[in-house]
Structure 1
Amino acid sequence: MKAAIHEKYGDAGVLEIRDIARPEPADGEILVKVCAAAVTTADWRLRAAAFPGIMALPGRLMFGLFAPRQKVLGTAFSGRVVARGGDVDRFALGDAVFGFSGAGAHAEYVAVKADGPVVAKPANIGHDEAAAAPFGGLAALVFLRDFAGVKPGEKVLVAGASGGVGSWAVQVAKHLGAEVVGVASTGNVDLVRSLGADRVIDYRKDDPAASGERYDVVLDTAGKLPFARARRILARTGRYLPLEFGGREMLQALWAGVTGGPKIVINVSGDSRADLEILAGLLETGEIRAVVDSRFPLRDIAAAHRRVESRHAGGAVIVLMDEAAACAPSP
């Protein structure tokens, strides 16, 4: 099978398309013919060993000190079940599924645990839209519902509201009953408004931290609104949630806990099958929708990485596999 391989850390040019052995599903696993997979900020950081701040050394120790241990990146995928290992009765051959693989989704096939974070794909969305959902959608759901504890009527500011996580966060916050203000560039204002934001701040024209407004929650999806600025617009009981954090944010969180006032909530979202089922349900009813910035064939995955790394993508960046029969809709 074809897969995107990186043997060393570096820029997107280190990625190569090679033929490697197709995995075989072990007991408790399903083999999925990948139809579409997302390229995420996690993928480009792992490819480049671009771990933020004090995470540089721990990141290398975890993922490979001198070279990547995992040669095939990609965690968020959508495809069809083409084989099953022993003791699997949750899925049938031909079922359309989407979810998290842990790694290896930037390939034509990936083996995943049948009882892991993988669920049936809603019939009303394409594989590209489904592949866009797990990374950004679950992060938005867990950060806002669980870590921030957003309640109906609260006011939420989403910085980076048009991105791979922010586009979901706007919709999830509205689903939770919040008043939502998105921050985006001029070209993405209409997109963010179409996702349900009550108001959109164009950061090229206005500084969201100088508005004098007060928010219960500020979600910073791309490190563009640091706590030193965000605290000016947070209510006294407000919560600041950075998706990207380092030593500075950890120290600020400790200090805020001592001094009182707005607090920093630092955490990492998990990959829960139950939460993925919730996301699938919301997609099926149309309450939320995927935003796809761009689509690339697997052979152009380096360009997909560069698009993500630009930090200007409006939604998810997707790689599409060969349009084989396994990816076609059921008759």
Structure 2
Amino acid sequence: MQTVTYSRFGSPDVLTLSDVAPPSPRGGHLVVRVRAVSINPLDGKLRRGDARLLSGTKFPKTPGLDFAGVVEQVGPGVSGFQVGDDVFGGLGSFKEGYLSERISVPARVVAKLPKSLDYVGAAAIAVVGLAAQTAVQVARIKAGDHVLINGASGGLGPYALQLAKGAGAHVTAVSGTDGVALARELGADTVVDYRRESITASGRTFDAVLELSGRLPFSQARGLLKPRGVYVDFEPGPTKLIGAGLQNPFRSHQHRFVITRATTAALEALGRHLDAGQLRPGPTRVFELSEYRRAFEVAEQGGQVGKVVIRLEG
């Protein structure tokens, strides 16, 4: 079977398409024939070696943190799934990715495909949808709150925007020019094109700032927060976690983090939101498996609206 692998840290140039033996079912695992895999910002960090504490240094490695496909084998000790089930999931391990024609994946990070999504849509939502759910909980967003989402039209932003609106918040979305229309369509109350206006110079303040762009650190965002406001950070690291843990008890503005964990129950809840029409899938740009290197190059250019997805042939 074909699998995308890399044997050293580096740019997308280190990725190769390899023939490897198909996996056998393990206890607690499903063997899934993969139909689609999406690309997340963490994929690039893992491949470049920027997150070695998560990935380890054993090669070869395979990228891909979330997927959708069809169950081909059910391992010992697994219940609730059967051969032929359409499924989606992710985040089983940062050491074993899913960009392969077949994968062995822990059943605990898999759920049945939402009825409203195809494989491409489902592969695009697992990691970002779960992160958005967690962010709304971490920020304790409630009706009447004023929330800033900085980076509202990328892969994760559309879901965070919709869930914040669903909680009753007034949402200000910051986006590039190409994402302004999408942010408005998804219900943002105010949309700021960062190429035309600086949100930090606007004089506005918020109950919560969800920082998705990687360009607004806590030190700068504090000027945007109301007293007791919350800054939600999607890039936890040891230094930041320790620093926030020591300082949060002694300051008004809180620096909190999204640490995403996939479970079947959380994925099922995400699917229910989608099937009920409470969440609208974000846009996707689709590449075929043969275009894998180009897909990663595009995803890592920045400024993309929505997610990049690699589709594998049936």
1:233 CA displacement: 1.6
TM-superposed CA distance for 1:27, in Å, is 2.7
1:94-173 aligned at under 5 Å gives the runs: 94-100=84-90, 101-102=92-93, 103-114=96-107, 116-145=108-137, 147-173=138-164
**Whole-angstrom CA distance in 1 between matches of 2:157 and 2:22:** 35
- 1:1-331 equivalences under 5 Å are 1-49=1-49, 51=50, 59-65=51-57, 68-69=58-59, 71-100=61-90, 101-102=92-93, 103-114=96-107, 116-145=108-137, 147-246=138-237, 249-250=240-241, 253=244, 256-257=247-248, 259-322=250-313, 324=314
Deviates more, 1:158-167 or 1:86-95: 86-95
Write the letter of the residue equivalent to 1:110. Answer: I
Q: Counterpart amino acid of 1:142?
A: T
* 8 Å contact kept, 1:44–1:308: no
Aligned AA for 1:131? A
Contact 2:155 2:305 in 1 (8 A): yes
Per-residue Cα deviation, 1:15-51 (whole angstroms, up to 9, x for no partner) = 01111011011233221110001111111111111x2
Stretches of structure 1 lacking an aligned partner (at least 5 in a row): 52-58, 325-331
Answer whether contact 1:160 1:224 (CA < 8 A) is retained: no
Query: Structure 1 residue 250: deviation in Å?
Result: 4.8
Distance in 2 separating the partners of 1:110 and 1:83 = 10
Aligned 8 A contact 1:296 1:318 in 2: yes
Q: Does structure 1 conserve the Cα–Cα contact (< 8 Å) formed by 2:235 and 2:258?
A: no
Contact 1:119 1:273 in 2 (8 A): yes
2:27/2:77 contact within 8 Å kept: yes
TM-score, length basis structure 1: 0.88
Unaligned runs of 5+ in 2: none
Cα pair distance change 1:178/1:73, threshold 3 Å: same
Give distance in 2, aligned partners of 1:303 and 1:221. 23
Q: 12-21 vs 103-112, which deviates more?
A: 103-112
CA contact (8 A) 1:256 1:262 kept: no
* CA deviation vs aligned residue, 1:118-141 (integer Å, no higher than 9, x gap): 111112211110001111110111
Aligned-pair identity (%): 34
TM-score by length of 2: 0.93
Contact 1:293-1:313 within 8 A present in 2 as well = no
Equivalent residues, number: 311
Q: Tell me, in whole angstroms, the C-alpha distance in 2 between the residues paired with 1:225 and 1:271.
A: 27
Q: Secondary structure at the match of 2:210?
A: strand
- 2: CA distance, partners of 1:128 / 1:60: 29
Is the 8 Å Cα contact of residues 222 and 244 (structure 1) preserved in structure 2?
no
The alignment yields a C-alpha RMSD, in angstroms, of 1.9
Query: What are the Cα deviations for residues 279-328 of structure 1, in whole angstroms up to 9, with x where unaligned?
Result: 00011112112213311111211111112211211111100001x2xxxx
